[in-house]
Structure 1
Amino acid sequence: MIGQSAGVALAVLLLAALGTFFTSSRATMTTHAVRAVPVDWQVQVSPGTSISKSSATVAATRGVTAELPVGYADTSGLSSRNAGTVQTTGPGVVLGLPPDYATTFPGEIRPLVGATTGVLLAQQTAANLGASVGSTITIGRPGQSKTTVTVDGVVDLPAADSLFQSIGVAPGSAPTAPPDNVVLLPESMWHGMFANAAPGTSSTQIHVQLAHDLPADPGAAFAQVIGRAKNLEAALAGGGLVGNNLAAQLDGARADAIYAEMLFLFLGLPGVIIAALLAGVIASSGRERRRREQALLRVRGASPKRIVRLTWAEAILVAIAGTVVGVIAATAVGRIAFGTSSFGATTGQALAWAGASVVFGLGLSVATIVVPAWRDVRTLSVHDAQATGSTGRDRRPVWARAYLDVICLALGGLIYWQAVRSGYQVVLAPEGVPTISVSYFTLLAPLLFWIGTALLIWRISTELLRVGRGWLRVATRPLAHRLAGVVAASMSRQRRGLSRGVVLMALTASFALSVAIFNTTYTSQSRVDAQLSNGADVTVSTTAATGLPAGISDAVAKLPGVAAVQPMQHRFAYVGNDLQDLYGVDPATIGQATSMSNAFFANGDAARTLQTLGSTPNGVLVSEETVHDFQLQPGDTVNLRLQFASDHAYHQVPFTYVGVAREFPTAPHDSFLVANAGYVAQATGSPASQVLLVRTNGSPTTVAAEVQQLLGPASGATVKDIVTEQRITLSGLTAIDLAGLTKLELVFALLLAAGASGLVLAVELGERRRTFAIASALGAKGRQLGSFVWSEAAFVAIGGLALGALSGWWIAQVIVKILTGVFDPPPEHLSVPWAYLAGLLVAVSAAIAVAGAGMLRAIRRPAMPILRDL
């Protein structure tokens, strides 16, 4: 009974611990979603409504911690005189900001050059006008005369999409992209310029910061934020509409929770099933004892109902003991692995998950104890129940006769092929905005493969033991010597038990291998993803208008901890009317400072693509979207408009289309261009680089600090390191930190593998103690008995590990392929954790050795006491 309770406890422990993973992941999603929003609410004040009264109403709303009015005004165009030429732009937006706006909402404005207050230009606007600090620009005002201002600084607007959103309009009726031309003015200056603005050309928003004391569950937090926004709109009584940025982010986090469910299906559920199977094997070890006890009770007059009630009492006792131990252990494990001991993000979720764990423990006990006993009472006579060994004909199971294994594998292969052919991705990024898209039908592929391989392994091992006595005789000869034939015959007769051991061993090995490979691949790709976003170990960047200081590459290369340095141009180019990022590189040397993955390019060959680009001086790599929009063919001429250094105007420059780039260091996800830096410099008259990629052989954080000190505060350059970027990446949509989950899963996989090998072998050999005792009474020596034990142990271990390794590698391949969108860029190959697998092999070998040695010690006792015990 202790062993059965331990088996139930192990299964309940794993299931309940997964509940703490859900709690942790959901709370992490909520925290990261809230942190990513620079302005929680943008309240659009209706025309004619008092700004002061609206601000007072907003300030009185529950949860509001800060509110500031922001003026929005249309401009008919901007112009700037530079070096004797006049640069003009199209329409834009002029914002009026309160003095403390940047400190209240630090995520909205990122200073680049010059002052952080006063008249500020957006980075793209400065590039369009060729303006910088000290430049004079003219602002066109609809219905009024033009006015001039002097630029105090250049800034970046990281959250421009939400800052310039259209609030309260029907989808599709307003521009989806933020304006290209933006001027930021102090609040008082803005009011002076636009106090008499034409109707419909100016408006006011109230930007709001909320207290982030929200529920841990993103769904509950979303509902709370939505409710507060509706309450505010009701209080404004038509005087304003709420642009709920925080709710939009939390809504995305609710979808991200689906990803956690997928990880549970792929990484957690198989472990729970294996733990349940192991508990069933442990329970089956007492089945013969129960049969004899039931037969004795029936002889003494006990009715079948009374026997089943007694079995129920045993099952409930096992369930209570196992569930209590499992839940308590899961609480401790959750605290260690995930930092929380709760089973849910809300009280309801916690109670539901804890209740499910209790029901699961009880159900497992009933399935492994009560159901077999009930079936025996109904189908076996007293004589059959008192007999030892199996009864009845040796018939193949129904699933084997129906070829269920082949059907599952075929269906899984069909679903997998369909998913690969259609290019299914769990994470989509239209226009750079990541979203979840889950096809649960596709998730059937790994499940069907898992079931199909388990049944196929059972079929293979059973048939091998049934018809392969000759092969078994040869294979066991090194262990059994002259008894090889007898051992082979014995193993053939015990094929059901041995096949069960092989299957369970293979399942645990497959589970451990697939989880370990996925985790290692995920971890290695997270660094690749961070490097793709950051550009390199350390990246220095500045605006397209200025460029990095001359000689900075050589200076950075001399710093300690720097392995390689490569400059890169970051300009802007018009493809038709579409403004895209353009990166100028040296194709022959760019790979020295950053990784050039094959997945970056459509042909899957980074070396060949860069070689082609380098051999075509005016070559250009474009995005797949651009190829589709302009129907390009390799070798076509693409006329881009680049900004020339001579007059700061955009002029046409011919390029030759030579390939497709899907990703590139620091590039956006949607559309960008990659060209030869030398050709760009020659065409524009400016060799200046805006990005410096640095590969380190030391601490990236330390090198970044040294580079920042070298540049000085007046450079206007931004320095980022991969360590910081990886923390940001691991806070994103597809980057739930798997460290705790995989640590838990890998430890359990190790325990389950050792348990499956050792316990199953011990159970199988324990059921044959009577046979071994009789053989010992007839004169069998310990070495001869050992040949039976070690031959069966070798069959279970070698067969289970070999077949489990094959199936585990394939299932890992399927999981990684189906979850391709989780990896950005997709991995070129699977990463194998050899150290963990070596530890797994050692643990399994040790468990088998302990089980075999224990059985040999038991059967070396005098035969008569063993027979009396049995």
Structure 2
Amino acid sequence: MALIKLWLGGLIAHRAVRVVGVVAGISLAVSLLMALGAFVVSSSVSMSARAVSAVPIDWQVELVPTASPSRVETAIKKAAKIQALHTVRYAQVAGLVASPGKTTQTTGPGKAIAFDAGYAKDFPKEVRLLAGKLDGVLIAQQTAANLHVRPGDTVRIKRVGLAPASVVISGVVGLPDADALFQGVGLPKQAAPQAPPDNVLILPEAQWMKIFDPQRQVRPGSVRLQFHVRLARAQLPANPEAAFVFVTGAARNLEARVAGQALVSDNLGARLDAVRGDSLYARVLFLFLGVPGVALAAIMTMAVTTTNAGERRRERAVLRTRGASRRQIVIFAASEAAFCGILGVLIGMAITVGFPALTGHAPVMPDGLSLALSCALALGVVFLALVLPVLREGRSTTIAASRAAAPLQGTPLWARTYADLALLALAGLFFWQSASTGYRIVLAPEGVATTAVDYKAFISPALFWLGIVLFSLRITRLALRRGGGVLTAALRPWAGALAPAVSAAMTRQSFRLSFGVAMLALAISFAVSTSIFNKTYNGQARVDAELTNGADVTVFGSTDRPAAAYFNRLKALPGVASGATMAHRFAYVGADLQDIYGIDPATITKATHLADAYFVGQSAQSVLEILKRTPNGVLVSQETVHDFQLTLGDTLNLRLMDMRTHQYRAIPFVFVGVVREFPTAPKDSFLVANAAYLAQMTRSSAREDVLLKAKGDPAALAGRVKSLLRDAPSLRVTDIGQAAHIIGSNLAAVDLRGLTGIELSFAAIMAASASGLLLLLGLFERRRAFAVLNVIGSKPRQLAVFIWSEGLFVLAGGLLFGVAGGVVIAAMLVKLLTGVFDPPPEVLAWPLDYLVTIVGFAAVSLAAALVVTTRRASRSSADLLRER
């Protein structure tokens, strides 16, 4: 033990640089691995929490006409812990009639529903008051527009099989969750979703029962009862996969308990089913981004030990000449490995916990698995770097051989077999196969309660990463060994008459210099690929949120209360860069009711971004030009084109409501383009047309929605807009931040800023280490050679030429291969993770400020190493030789 303490003390006192290098590499690898594990867990938990909070009704349990409500309610409470449970009554109506003026308006079939007492408190997102008050009979916004009624007007309900009943309207409301509220309970998953009814009344429960209990007696099938259930959130597991299994298991338990009495719609399970796939996408994303950094830190740790391998061999030779046994030498190496490994783990944990707080993010606490993997990584790396070479020396290595300055370097096996070129070719082949076959990296087989990752997608970037490193080694070795004339010519403006000597010296150091180029290329490629991907990812997350919200700030109105009436006042608000109006109506394509948006093709892009990926076969600009040239043109969603077998140029007769007669009539449109996505539009079926033609044909120039682009903070602008519209409660104002939160369970909305800050900071440190520390250690290994140059009369400037030439060669080669490799890897990641983006990005986003900073870090670190080495090399030869 005393000898071990003496050995470690000597290392710290006299070999501090190499100890610091090993510990730094270990701590970087450990901290990045811990942060990676912590963010994988936290992102899954965050996605699950957001998904759960976005589901207003967890279960909808619909009773059959002969079922006992009390028995079904008891079964629900036994199946899971319940936070809220309320009854909702539904009744079919044959139509609604109103005579608000001199004309009488009549609608088609609809629904009349009633909530029990306390429903609004536990399910506040189901009803939004637009006008009037919530006490009494409420009418849906679209129904009020169809009937031309307002609070205080009378509506006659055409009951099924009975005489009409009259009610007085108290308020006009919106139904944000109408799709779920009126969904078909018990339908198979593969069934097409049912559109919510166009005409809806909401009655107080007592009034509903008075009007529709008689209808139940006459037509039992026209009246139904549902229980709306919210589960106790505390019982749900934090992991979305586990939460999905728990919720679906409880729902199946309930189905078994109420078999023959009720049907169950598991809305929460369906939402978690989607999120569990996104959760695995997040895990894959973090692996793609983080694991190369962990591997790079481990490789750099190995590189630090390789750089001073000759010094270590000579130290072991000295120990053997002084009587140390091989067992003692192994113990010394193991003690150094244990010391560096433990210290690296401790520092890595401190960095993991403390670094996010320093950058303004929440502290990251490593979980048990990450900690265990980090310890295993640290011990494995230091064993391979420090202990394994000692064991490999064996008895066959003589003391004289150990004292040699460096072992003979032949052509490695990978170079003789052209493994680098083979790896690059295989990477291209696997990438082509994955990217061209419409694959999905995350698989969720139908009916299976677990998701899986297609790990074959990892093959191509991994092969390319390894191949580009070996390829950089090959090219730099060839340039140094066979390009002497070119190298001499390149060095002559800098080295002058010393160019041939410097070129020859660099050729003799080809292995060390090519290794330095490869390490710097690895660090730079990691920084470039990570930064480009993160920039693209963050930009696309904003595009996704803007697509959902429509613009930075959007004001949603209705045909009878259009937001465009306030457009000029809204544009004059501080913080508004530009704006546009958009009509939003409904049209029948055959029997299918779809959203139709009326736009001005010349101004719509002033308020929102239209990506080329939104359209099929044409750019956004060309589609807008075609629509502008074709007044009666219409863009049709891809799903509608497929469902109705449409061909470009077809005439579509869409049925739209004439706003004067309130009757639907056929209006001809020309199909001019296919659209995948459009701001504020649903994901499936919709139409886009010219607002002017829409206004002419429907005899209403109303523009229901207003899109605003913000100069600064969209949330602040949204606040000013709400203040301006405080007297218009029917208008709904949303900003892009709200949209990002709503889609927060989607992978593209995962907040990577914390992990990104750590990754990019580590990348900068690794680039600086690769360019500075490794070169410094390598040059320190050659102190005796510099001493010889001093003895023969070399001047400090001549020594500097030798040293700086090598440094600049490493920097130039590392930047060349690192940037090229990083760009290719980033492009591969974006393509392979297409499922992350909705829509896919058009081009890669370049974080130029960060890339310039990375290059600056590497250059400054290298310059510092060269300055230190030059000063040490210029010392007297006696001092240098005395260190040996």
**Common fold, TM-score beyond 0.5?**
yes
Candidates 399, 406, 417, aligned match of 1:382: 399
Alignment partner for residue 843 of structure 1, among 833, 857, 862? Answer: 857
Please give the secondary structure, in 2, of the residue aligned with 1:39: coil
Give how far 1:508 is off. 0.8
Q: Which amino acid aligns with 1:277?
A: I
Q: Secondary structure at the match of 1:734?
A: helix
Please point out which of 466, 473, 497 is paired with 1:458. 473
Q: Deviations over 1:246-267 (max 9, x none)?
A: 3333333322221222222221
Give the one of 549, 554, 559 matched to 1:534: 549
Kept in 2, the 8 Å contact 1:518–1:812? The answer is yes
Q: Cα 1:436–1:138, aligned 2, differ >3 Å: closer, same or farther? A: farther
**Structure 1 residue 4 corresponds to structure 2 residue 4:** no
In structure 2, what is the equivalent of residue 163 of structure 1?
A: 181
Find the counterpart in structure 2 of residue 13 from structure 1.
31
CA distance in 2: counterparts of 1:237 and 1:586, whole angstroms: 54
| CA drift at 1:370 | 1.6
Return the alpha-carbon distance in structure 1 between the equivalents of residues 713 and 358 of structure 2: 28
- After superposition, the CA RMSD in angstroms is 3.0
Supply the distance in 2 between the matched residues of 1:814 and 1:34 (Cα, whole angstroms): 33
Distance between the aligned counterparts of 2:467 and 2:721, measured in 1?
56
- The alignment partner of 1:95 has SS state of strand
Residue 488 of structure 1 and its aligned partner are, at CA, apart by: 0.7
Tell me which residue corresponds to 1:248. 270
Give the conservation status (yes or no) of the 8 Å contact 1:564–1:696: yes
For 2:69, the equivalent position in structure 1 comes to: 51
How far is the alpha carbon of 1:422 from its aligned partner?
3.8
* 2:278 and 2:746 in contact (8 A); partners too: no
CA separation in 2, counterparts of 1:379 and 1:86?
A: 103
Partner of 2:769: 755
Q: Does 1:317 align with 2:339?
A: yes
Deviation at residue 390 of structure 1 after TM alignment: 1.9
CA shift, 1:340, in A, is: 4.4
Structure 1 residues 774-816: Cα deviation after superposition (integer angstroms, max 9, x where no partner) = 2222222222211111000000011101221121122222222
| Inter-partner Cα distance in structure 1 for 2:836 and 2:192 | 32
Q: Report the counterpart of residue 363 of structure 1 in structure 2.
A: 380
- Mapped to 2, the partners of 1:437 and 1:141 lie a distance apart of 51
Deviation digits for residues 317-348 of structure 1, max 9, x if unmatched?
322222222223323335666524432xxxxx
Q: Is the 8 A contact 1:642 1:650 kept in 2?
A: yes
Alignment of 1:467-478 (within 5 A): 467-478=482-493
Cα deviation for residue 586 of structure 1 reads: 1.5
Query: Against the structure 1 CA distance between its residues 466 and 136, is the aligned structure 2 distance closer, same or farther, given a 3 Å change threshold?
Result: farther
In the alignment, does 2:290 pair up with 1:268? yes
Distance in structure 1 (CA, Å) of the matches to 2:581 and 2:442: 32
Q: Report the 3-state secondary structure (helix = DSSP H, G, I; strand = E; otherwise coil) of the residue aligned with 1:441.
A: helix
Q: Which residue of 2 aligns with 1:488?
A: 503
Specify the alignment match of 1:415 in structure 2: 430
Pairing 1:592-607 to 2, within 5 Å after superposition: 592-607=606-621
SS in 2 for 1:203: strand
Question: What amino acid is aligned across from residue 366 of structure 1 in structure 2?
Answer: F
> Which residue of structure 2 aligns with residue 669 of structure 1?
683
CA distance in 2, matches of 1:324, 1:312: 18
- State the 1:744 CA deviation: 0.6
Q: Does 307-316 or 120-129 show the bigger shift? A: 120-129
Q: Secondary structure at the match of 1:442?
A: helix
2:231 aligned to 200, 210, 228, which one? Answer: 210
Q: Which deviates the most, 304-313 or 614-623?
A: 304-313
How many angstroms apart in 2 are the aligned matches of 1:790 and 1:319?
A: 33
User: CA offsets, 1:558-583, max 9 Å, x none?
Assistant: 33333333221101111112211111
Counterparts in 2 of 1:420 and 1:852: CA distance versus 1, 3 Å: same
Partner of 1:118 in structure 2?
136
SS of residue in 1 equivalent to 2:394: helix
Residue among 364, 368, 377 paired with 1:351: 368
Q: 1:809 to 1:378 in 2, by over 3 A?
A: farther
Is the contact made by 1:526 and 1:730 (CA closer than 8 Å) also made in structure 2? no
CA contact (8 A) 2:140 2:174 kept: yes
Q: Does 1:716 align with 2:727?
A: no
Q: Whole-Å Cα distance in 2 between the matches of residues 639 and 232 of structure 1? A: 47
2-structure distance, mates of 1:293, 1:149: 99
| 1:238-295, Cα deviation, whole Å (9 max, x unpaired) | 8656543333333333222212222222211111111111111122244223323433
Q: Is residue 339 of structure 1 aligned with residue 362 of structure 2?
A: yes
CA contact (8 A) 1:87 1:649 kept: no
Q: Could you tell me whether the CA contact under 8 Å between 2:585 and 2:596 is conserved in 1?
A: yes
1:30-84: CA deviation from partner (whole Å, max 9, x where unpaired): 2212211112333444554443465466568764332211123344555556764
Matched residue of 1:844: which SS?
Answer: helix
Give the structure 2 partner of residue 856 of structure 1. 870
Q: Which residue of 1 aligns with 2:9?
A: none
Per-residue deviation at 1:512? 0.8
- Which has the higher mean CA deviation after the structures are superposed, 317-326 or 112-121? 112-121
Give the residue type in structure 1 aligned to 2:782: R
Task: Give yes or no for contact 2:79–2:251 (8 Å, CA) kept in 1.
Answer: no
CA 764–579 in structure 1, closer or farther in 2 if over 3 Å, else same:
same
What is the CA–CA distance in structure 2 between the aligned matches of 1:222 and 1:194, rounded to whole Å?
A: 38
Q: Does 1:565 align with 2:587?
A: no
What does residue 796 of structure 2 align with?
A: 782
Contact 1:118–1:152 (CA under 8 A) maintained in structure 2: yes
Q: Compare 600-609 and 20-29 and name the one that shifted more.
A: 600-609
The TM-score, its normalising length taken from structure 1, stands at 0.91
When residues 256 and 595 of structure 1 are mapped into structure 2, their CA distance, relative to the original with a 3 A threshold, is closer
In structure 2, what residue type is equivalent to 1:516?
A: S
Count residues in correspondence.
Answer: 855
Q: Please say if residues 725 and 731 of structure 2, whose CA atoms lie closer than 8 Å, have aligned partners that are also in contact.
A: yes
Identity of aligned residues (%): 46
Does the CA-based 8 Å contact 1:415-1:445 persist in structure 2? Answer: yes
C-alpha contact 1:87 1:129 (8 A) present in aligned 2 = yes
- Give the distance between the partners of 1:686 and 1:702, measured in 2 at CA: 33
1:209 is aligned with what amino acid? R
Gaps of 5+ in 1: 344-349, 430-434
Report the counterpart of residue 3 of structure 2 in structure 1. none
Q: Give the corresponding residue for 2:535.
A: 520
User: Which residue does the alignment assign to 2:121?
Assistant: 103
Greater mean alpha carbon deviation, residues 794-803 or residues 550-559:
550-559
Q: State the TM-score, normalizing by the size of structure 2.
A: 0.90
Q: Tell whether the 8 Å contact from 2:563 to 2:704 is kept in structure 1 after alignment.
A: no
Matched, 1:510 2:525: yes
Equivalent pair of 1:20/1:340 in contact (CA under 8 Å): no
Partner-residue secondary structure (3-state), 1:94: strand
Q: Decide which moves more: 196-205 or 314-323.
A: 196-205
Structure 2: distance between partners of 1:156 and 1:231 = 34
Q: Could you give the per-residue CA deviations for residues 366-390 of structure 1, whole angstroms, max 9, x where no partner exists? A: 1111222222226533321121112
CA contact (8 A) 1:620 1:675 kept: yes
User: Residues of 1 paired with 2:427 and 2:195: CA distance?
Assistant: 42
Give the aligned residue type for 1:636. Answer: D
Unaligned runs of 5+ in 2: 1-18, 445-449
Residue 346 (structure 1) aligns with: none
Contact 2:65 2:220 in 1 (8 A): no
Distance 1:399 1:283, change over 3 A: same
Q: 1:609 aligns with which of 623, 633, 650?
A: 623
Paired with 1:440 and 1:856, the residues of 2 have a C-alpha distance of: 48
Residue 466 of structure 1, CA deviation: 1.3
1:649 is aligned to 2:663:
yes
Whether 1:219 and 2:241 are equivalent positions in the alignment is yes
How many angstroms does 1:167 deviate by?
Answer: 4.3
1:746 matches 2:760:
yes
Q: Which residue of 1 aligns with 2:54?
A: 36
**Does the CA-based 8 Å contact 1:24-1:340 persist in structure 2?**
no
